[in-house]
Amino acid sequence: MATLHTKSAARAMMSPSVILLFCWMAVPLAMTLYFSFLRYNLLMPGMEEWAGLFNYEFFLTDPAFFSALFNTLILVGSVLVISVGGGLLMALLLDQPVFGQGIVRVLVISPFLIMPTVSALVWKNMMMHPVYGLFAWLAKTVGLDPIDWLSAAPLTSIVMIVSWQWLPFATLILLTALQSLDEDQMEAAEMDGASLWWRFYFIVLPHLGRAITVVILIETIFLLSVFAEILVTTSGGPGYASTNITYLIYTQALLQFDVGGASAGGIVAVILANIVAFFLIRLIGKNLEG
Amino acid sequence: MARTVSTRRRLAFTALAWTIALALFFPILWTFLTSFKSEGAAIANPPSFLFFDWTLENYHEVQERSNYFHHMWNSVVISFGSTFLGLLIAVPAAWAMAFSPTKNTKNILMWMLSTKMLPPVGVLVPIYLLFRDWALLDTLAGLVLVLTMVNLPIIVWMLYTYFKEIPGDILEAARMDGASLGQEILYVLTPMAVPGIASTCLLNVILAWNEAFWTLNLTAAKAAPLTAFIASYSSPEGLFWAKLSAASTMAIAPILILGWFSQRQLVRGLTFGAVK
Amino acid sequence: MKFSKMLLGACSAIALSYPAMANTTLTIATVNNGDMIRMQKLTGPFTDAHPDITLEWVTMEENVLRQKVTTDIATKGGQYDIMTIGNYEVPIWAKQGWLLPLDDLGADYDVDDLLPAIRSGLTLDEKLYAAPFYGESSMVMYRTDLFEKAGLTMPEDPTWEFIGEAARKITDKDNEIYGICLRGKAGWGENMALITTMANSMGARWFDMDWKPQFDQPAWKNTLKYYVDLMTDAGPPGASSNGFNENLALFQTGKCGMWIDATVAASFVTNPKDSTVADKVGFALSPDAGLGKRGSWLWSWNLGIPAGSTKAEAAKAFIGWATSKAYTELVAEKEGWANVPPGTRTSLYENPTYQKDAPFAAMTLRSINAADPKASTVDPVPYTGGQFVAIPEFQGIGTAVGQQFSAALAGQASVNQALDNAQKITDREMRKGGYIK
Contacts of C14 (CB under 8 A, 6+ apart): none
**Residue C99 DSSP class:** B
Whether omega for the bond prior to residue B46 falls within 30 degrees of 0, making it cis, is yes
Asked if residue A27 is part of any domain, the answer here is no
**Alpha carbon distances (Å) from C136 to A79, B187, C301, C371:** 44, 70, 9, 10
pLDDT at C16: 45
pLDDT at C17: 44
Strands A38-39 and C82-86: unpaired
Which of A59, A125, A235, A252 would you mutate first to test chain C, the one with the most C CBs within 10 A? A235
Which residue in chain B has the smallest CA separation from C249? B238
A261 min Cα distance to partner chain B (Å): 9
A195 min Cα distance to partner chain B (Å): 18
**Per-residue pLDDT averaged across B163-191, rounded?**
75
Asked if pLDDT for residue A288 goes beyond 70, the answer is no
Strands C138-143 and C82-86: unpaired
Q: Do C393 and A256 touch (CB under 8 A)?
A: yes
Going by C-alpha positions, the residue among A205, A208, A217, A201 that lies closest to residue A180 is: A208
Q: Do C412 and A241 touch (CB under 8 A)?
A: yes
pLDDT at B105: 77
Each residue of C244-278: pLDDT tens digit? 888 988 899 899 999 999 998 888 898 888 888 99
Q: For Cα atoms C374, C380, C381, give the angle at the middle one, nearest 5 degrees.
A: 65
pLDDT at C274: 80
One-letter-per-residue 3-state SS of chain A: CCCHHHHHHHHHHHHHHHHHHHHHHHHHHHHHHHHHCEECECCCCCCCEECCCHHHHHHHCCHHHHHHHHHHHHHHHHHHHHHHHHHHHHHHHHHCCCCCHHHHHHHHHHHHHCCHHHHHHHHHHHHCCCCCCHHHHHHHHCCCCCCCHHHHCHHHHHHHHHHHHHHHHHHHHHHHHHHCCCHHHHHHHHHCCCCHHHHHHHHHHHHHHHHHHHHHHHHHHHHHCCCHHHHHHCCCCCCCCCCCHHHHHHHHHHHCCEHHHHHHHHHHHHHHHHHHHHHHHHHHHHHHHC
Q: Which neighbouring-strand residues pair with C288?
A: C159, C294
Question: End-to-end CA distance of chain A, in Å?
Answer: 20
Q: Do B27 and A118 touch (CB under 8 A)?
A: no
Please provide residue B260's backbone torsions phi and psi, each rounded to the nearest 5 degrees: -65, -45
Q: Are A162 and A223 in contact (CB under 8 A)?
A: yes
Number of Cβ within a 10 Å radius of residue B268 = 16
Task: Tell me how far apart the alpha carbons of residues A124 and A119 are, in angstroms, rounded to a whole number.
Answer: 8
Task: Tell me how far apart the alpha carbons of residues A246 and A224 are, in angstroms, rounded to a whole number.
Answer: 8
A251 min Cα distance to partner chain C (Å): 7
Which of B127, B237, B240 would you mutate first to test chain C, the one with the most C CBs within 10 A? B237
pLDDT at C18: 44
Q: Are C387 and C197 in contact (CB under 8 A)?
A: yes
Taking contacts as CB-CB distances below 8 angstroms, the residues of chain C near A241 are: 407, 412
Provide the CATH number for the domain around residue A80.
1.10.3720.10
**Per-residue pLDDT averaged across B241-250, rounded?**
90
Number of Cβ within a 10 Å radius of residue C175 = 9
Task: Tell me how far apart the alpha carbons of residues C45 and C330 are, in angstroms, rounded to a whole number.
Answer: 9
Instruction: Count how many domains chain A has.
Output: 1
Taking contacts as CB-CB distances below 8 angstroms, the residues of chain A near C407 are: 237-239, 241
Q: What percent of chain B has pLDDT over 70?
A: 93
The DSSP result for B163-178, as a single string, is HHHS-HHHHHHHHHTT
Q: Residue window 18-47, chain B: list those with CB within 8 Å of chain C.
A: 39, 43
Asked if residue A211 is part of any domain, the answer here is yes
What domains sit in chain C, N to C, each tagged with a CATH number?
A: 22-136+299-357 (3.40.190.10), 138-295+391-432 (3.40.190.10)
**Per-residue pLDDT averaged across B181-188, rounded?**
74
Show pLDDT as tens, one digit a residue, over chain C (437 residues): 444 555 444 444 444 444 444 688 999 999 888 888 889 889 999 999 999 999 999 988 888 888 889 989 988 888 899 999 999 999 999 988 999 999 888 778 888 999 998 998 899 888 999 999 999 999 999 999 999 999 999 999 999 999 999 999 999 988 889 999 999 988 888 899 999 999 999 999 999 999 999 999 999 999 999 999 999 999 998 888 888 888 988 899 899 999 999 998 888 898 888 888 999 999 999 999 988 888 889 999 999 999 988 899 999 999 999 999 999 999 999 988 888 999 999 999 999 999 988 889 999 999 998 888 888 899 999 998 889 998 988 988 998 899 999 999 988 899 999 999 999 999 988 988 888 87
pLDDT at C13: 46
Taking contacts as CB-CB distances below 8 angstroms, the residues of chain C near A31 are: none
Q: Do B232 and C68 touch (CB under 8 A)?
A: no
What domains sit in chain B, N to C, each tagged with a CATH number?
A: 7-60 (no CATH), 67-232 (1.10.3720.10)
Asked if residue A141 is part of any domain, the answer here is yes
A156 min Cα distance to partner chain B (Å): 17
Task: Please enumerate residues of C whose Cβ is less than 8 A from a Cβ of A.
Answer: 63, 67, 70-71, 74-75, 92, 96, 176, 185-187, 236-241, 249-250, 255, 392-393, 395-396, 399-400, 403-404, 406-407, 409-410, 412-413, 418, 421, 424-425, 428-429, 432
Domain interval for residue A240: 62-257
Task: Tell me how far apart the alpha carbons of residues C318 and C303 are, in angstroms, rounded to a whole number.
Answer: 10
Helix B241-261 vs helix A101-109: crossing angle, to nearest 10: 130
Torsion of CA A235, A241, A245, A249, to 10 degrees: 40
Residue C104, burial from CB neighbour count under 10 angstroms (0-12, 13-18, 19+): exposed
Asked if pLDDT for residue A173 goes beyond 70, the answer is yes
Asked if residue A280 is part of any domain, the answer here is no
pLDDT at C48: 92
Q: Do B236 and C60 touch (CB under 8 A)?
A: no
Q: Do C396 and A256 touch (CB under 8 A)?
A: yes
Going by C-alpha positions, the residue among C73, A267, C97, A41 that lies closest to residue B137 is: C73
pLDDT at C216: 94
Q: What is the largest CA-CA distance in chain C?
A: 89
Which residue in chain B has the smallest CA separation from A9? B96
pLDDT at B269: 64
Q: Residue A85: which pLDDT band, with cuts at 50, 70 and 90? A: very high
Measured between CB atoms, which of B39, B128, B232 is closest to C60? B232
Asked if pLDDT for residue B94 goes beyond 80, the answer is yes
C7 by DSSP, 3-state: which? helix
Q: Are B99 and A5 in contact (CB under 8 A)?
A: no
Taking contacts as CB-CB distances below 8 angstroms, the residues of chain A near C395 are: 255-257
Task: Tell me how far apart the alpha carbons of residues C363 and C351 are, in angstroms, rounded to a whole number.
Answer: 15
Q: Are C244 and B237 in contact (CB under 8 A)?
A: yes
Ranking A106-120, A195-209, B125-139, B248-262 by mean pLDDT, the lowest is A195-209
Measured between CB atoms, which of B220, B234, B236 is closest to C58? B220
Asked if pLDDT for residue B46 goes beyond 50, the answer is yes
Task: Tell me how far apart the alpha carbons of residues B265 and B41 are, in angstroms, rounded to a whole number.
Answer: 39
Asked if residue A246 is part of any domain, the answer here is yes
pLDDT at B1: 42
pLDDT at B155: 87
Task: Tell me how far apart the alpha carbons of residues C281 and B208 are, in angstroms, rounded to a whole number.
Answer: 48
C385 min Cα distance to partner chain A (Å): 18
Q: Are A210 and A174 in contact (CB under 8 A)?
A: no
Ranking A98-102, A236-240, C15-19 by mean pLDDT, the lowest is C15-19
Ranking A44-58, A155-169, B157-171, C3-17 by mean pLDDT, the lowest is C3-17
Asked if residue A5 is part of any domain, the answer here is no
C59 by DSSP, 3-state: which? strand
Query: Looking at this protein, which amino acid is placed at residue C405?
Result: F
Task: Tell me how far apart the alpha carbons of residues A246 and A272 are, in angstroms, rounded to a whole number.
Answer: 11
pLDDT at B238: 60
Q: Residue A285: which pLDDT band, with cuts at 50, 70 and 90? A: low
Using the CB atoms, write b or e for C307-329: b if 16+ within 10 Å.
bebebbebbbbbbbbbbbbebbe
Subunits adjacent to chain B (3 or more Cβ pairs under 8 Å): A, C
Listed in order, strand segments (DSSP E) in C286-340 are 299-304
Please provide residue A244's backbone torsions phi and psi, each rounded to the nearest 5 degrees: -105, 180
Q: What is the largest CA-CA distance in chain B?
A: 74
Q: Are C30 and C58 in contact (CB under 8 A)?
A: yes
Asked if pLDDT for residue A180 goes beyond 70, the answer is yes
Contacts of C73 (CB under 8 A, 6+ apart): C83, C93, C98, C306
Task: Tell me how far apart the alpha carbons of residues C430 and C436 are, in angstroms, rounded to a whole number.
Answer: 6
**Per-residue pLDDT averaged across A223-233, rounded?**
86
Cα A38 to chain centroid, rounded: 31
pLDDT at B124: 83
Each residue of A31-41: pLDDT tens digit? 888 989 988 88
Which residue in chain C has the smallest CA separation from A235? C186
Asked if residue A120 is part of any domain, the answer here is yes
Q: Do C245 and B125 touch (CB under 8 A)?
A: no
Measured between CB atoms, which of C236, C250, C406 is closest to A238? C406
Task: Tell me how far apart the alpha carbons of residues A286 and B249 are, in angstroms, rounded to a whole number.
Answer: 43
Asked if residue A191 is part of any domain, the answer here is yes
Q: Are C220 and C205 in contact (CB under 8 A)?
A: no
Using the CB atoms, write b or e for C284-305: b if 16+ within 10 Å.
bbbbbbeeebbbbbbbbbbbbb
Contacts of B26 (CB under 8 A, 6+ apart): none
Which of A40, A151, A157, A243 would you mutate first to test chain C, the one with the most C CBs within 10 A? A151
Q: Do C412 and A41 touch (CB under 8 A)?
A: no
Using the CB atoms, write b or e for A24-37: b if 16+ within 10 Å.
bbeebbebbbebbb
Q: Does B65 touch chain C (CB under 8 A)?
A: yes
Tell which wins on pLDDT, B179 or A79.
A79
Q: Are C282 and C256 in contact (CB under 8 A)?
A: no
